[in-house]
Chains A and B, each alone.
Chain A
Amino acid sequence: MSHLPVLIPVTLLFSAFIILLGGFLKRDLAFMIALIGGSLSFVFSALGLWAVISGGGLRYHLGGWVPPVGIEYALDALSAFMSTVVTLVGTLVLLYSRRSILQEVPERFVPMYALAMLLLAGLTGIIVTADLFNLFVFLEIASLSAYALMAVGDERAPVASFRYLILGSIAGSFYVLGVGFLYFSTGSLNMADVAQRLPNLYGSRAIVAAATLIFIALGLKMALFPLHLWLPDAYSYAPSAVTGLIAPIMTKVAAYAVIRMFLTVFQPHYLLDVLPLMPVIGWFAAAGIFYGSIMAIAQTDFRRMLAYSSISQIAYIGLGIGLANPMGLIGALLHILNHAFMKACLFLVAGNIRFRTGQWEVSRLAGLGRKMPWTMAAFTVSALSMIGIPPAAGFFSKWYLLLGSVDAGNWIFVATILLSSLLTAVYFFRVLEQVYMRHSQEETVPVNAADPPASMLFPTVLLGAGVLVLGLSNNLIVSSILDVVVMSLK
């Protein structure tokens, strides 16, 4: 039980290499091992969450060395919450991915599952670690797996992946540089230890440089406007299952890292009063919300539209972080949870459409509401949630963000959130109209368009239902988990 913090990433690492060995023998073995590894990690995360809610946090010393000399892993409310979300969504998308990958890129079946396990291992490692350099190592593990996974796609995928590689490696290097500044100023790499030593150094310019570099690096990984340029191409050209895996969780884990830096390492007092970085993030996020929504309206390709919508939704999370008051941060965390479910469901719906009809153009989606009823039902629920209509989950996270903006007296943010919900409605209702109101034209939609097989349909519908469940139970989530997280801000 006390080994939970380390078991969460190590299970996934171990299964990655067993997949490589076992996949040589029998190809379907790779899928089985991936599912088992993902489910085990989810069970461990859920156990960790239960342990955190009932007791206190779990701190784990790697190798028996006591911090600050050794590397430390910590499961507190924030990391247990994120870990559960990431492993749950990841395992569901892994379940979905088998038929999709068999149809799109069958010759790379075994390596893709090994890479997916490495990706999840890197992401969960970022979540549980309490050491600054260990975060960089896991960040690079996850990023390299993502570059490789995204490059296996249609024609333009390698170029999009290469652009993401260059930008992502710059981000990783900036992060290392920032950690170097922090280490040479404070003498420690442990997050809690650095937080203790920072208040003596508030006047130092090295700390300013460190904070700026670290936040720029994590902002690029998070695709916060204006550092989002890699996202639309990368999400549009990757295979459907890969986008379904990466889009809901990878940027959210980077947002988690930003929150961790904000709450634990550089305490809120520093980032609000001494070096006002949070308001800057807030204003860039507001611009990003508009940019994402407006660009999404202009798209004709369904997945590119979803990618720009992702930029806008991540900017909501950035807005919540930038507000830096308890309501805003609760809104950001709740939106991380909701958006993971909503975007996973939406990208899985796009994958279903591709599986049955072979294309993604919005203009050619006419009449699918009758032919693929369950898929489109899940799509409708997620679309309503993205717009922010109760009782779907999206309404509640936007409500908390609105409360946070009102608390901060920032009426421009309030207007931004409301206006962008209208813009979101524009581009989602356009698709809903195509799907439900038009009759299918036989020359554009194949006759055999129907709901996809069960292994693909079940995760889609489960995620869609989960969006509703999350919306109805949001009070429970906020009171039991998220309030604990923002305790240090009150």
Chain B
Amino acid sequence: MDSLIVDYNYLMTASLLVIGLYGMVGKRNLLKKVIGLNIFQTAIFLFFIQGATKPGATVPVWDVRISGEAAGYINPLPHVLILTAIVVSVATTGVALALLMTIYRRYRTLEEGTLLERMKQSP
């Protein structure tokens, strides 16, 4: 029970991961799959940010009260990595939505079952 309360942030990450995976695999609508992908990627960002914090530390901007001590500032490197990963996620969502527009224009549906049927009918 103790570790559940202390590690609640990692539990949050794990549950978001699972929710995202369920969205991608279990839902039949293509747009819901894209949303599941976004939730999945958000969970990974959350994991990185959690690893960057230190107890009692402040933002990594030079503060004369803390001056050179590294333990007083949180680790900025994972934040930078996550900025890059967020941009990648935005680009992926953009490409996915453009693909969905093309699929909708051709097949008039975004439900997976109906889509597979219509794909079988057309040559």
Which residue numbers of A lie inside 8 Å of B, CB to CB?
133, 136-137, 140, 144, 147-148, 151, 155-156, 158-159, 161-162, 165-166, 169-170, 172-173, 176-177, 180, 183-184, 189
A309 to chain B, nearest CB (A): 24
Once the chains are docked, how many angstroms separate the CA of A169 from the CA of B24? 11
Quick check: A140 and B92 within 8 Å, CB to CB? yes
Q: Which residues of B, 64-86, contact A by the 8 Å Cβ criterion?
A: 77-78, 81, 84-85
Kindly list 19 other residue pairs between chains A and B, CB separation below 8 angstroms, not including A148-B98, A177-B44: A136-B85, A137-B84, A140-B88, A144-B88, A155-B119, A155-B123, A156-B119, A158-B102, A158-B106, A162-B30, A162-B100, A165-B96, A165-B99, A166-B24, A173-B41, A176-B44, A180-B47, A180-B48, A183-B51
Interface residue SS majority, chain B = helix
Which B residues touch A172, using CB under 8 A?
88
- In the assembled complex, the Cα of A136 lies from the Cα of B86 at a distance in Å of 13
Among A133, A147, A184, which residue has its beta carbon within 8 angstroms of that of B95?
A147
B91: chain A residues at CB < 8 Å are 140, 144
How big is the B interface, by class? Answer: 20 to 34
| Residue in contact with A162 in the complex, picked from B81, B88, B96, CB distance below 8 Å | B96
Q: Is the CB of A173 within 8 A of B33?
A: no
Can you list 23 A-B pairs with a CB-CB distance of less than 8 A? Answer: A133-B84, A136-B88, A137-B88, A148-B95, A148-B98, A151-B99, A155-B106, A162-B96, A162-B100, A162-B103, A165-B96, A165-B99, A166-B24, A166-B33, A166-B37, A169-B41, A169-B92, A170-B24, A173-B41, A180-B47, A180-B48, A183-B77, A183-B78
In angstroms, how far is the closest chain B Cβ from the Cβ of A458?
A: 33
Chain A residue, CB-CB nearest to B123 = A155
Please tell me which one of the listed residues B47, B84, B85, B99 contacts residue A158 in the complex, with CB atoms under 8 A apart.
B99
Assess whether A159 is in contact with B92, with CB atoms less than 8 Å apart: no
The 8 A CB mask of B37-51 against A (1 = contact, 0 = none) is 100110010011001
B40 and A144 form a contact (CB under 8 A): no
Q: A169: which of B37, B100, B103, B115 is its contact (CB, 8 Å)?
A: B37
Q: How far is the CB of A185 from chain B (nearest CB, A)?
A: 10
- Could you tell me which residues of chain B, from 1 to 40, have a CB within 8 Å of some CB in chain A? 21, 24, 30, 33, 37, 40
Interface majority SS on A: helix, strand, loop or mixed? Answer: helix
**What is the CA–CA distance of A177 and B47 in the complex, to the nearest angstrom?**
8
B residues with CB within 8 A of A: 21, 24, 30, 33, 37, 40-41, 44, 47-48, 51, 77-78, 81, 84-85, 88, 91-92, 95-96, 98-100, 102-103, 106, 115, 119, 122-123
Most chain B C-beta atoms within 10 Å of own C-beta, residue among A147, A172, A173, A184? A173
Specify which of B24, B85, B119 is in contact with A159 (CB 8 Å cutoff).
B119
User: Measured between C-beta atoms, what is the minimum distance from A172 to chain B in Å?
Assistant: 7
Q: How far is the CB of B61 from chain A (nearest CB, A)?
A: 19
Q: Which A residues are CB-close (under 8 A) to B95?
A: 144, 147-148, 165
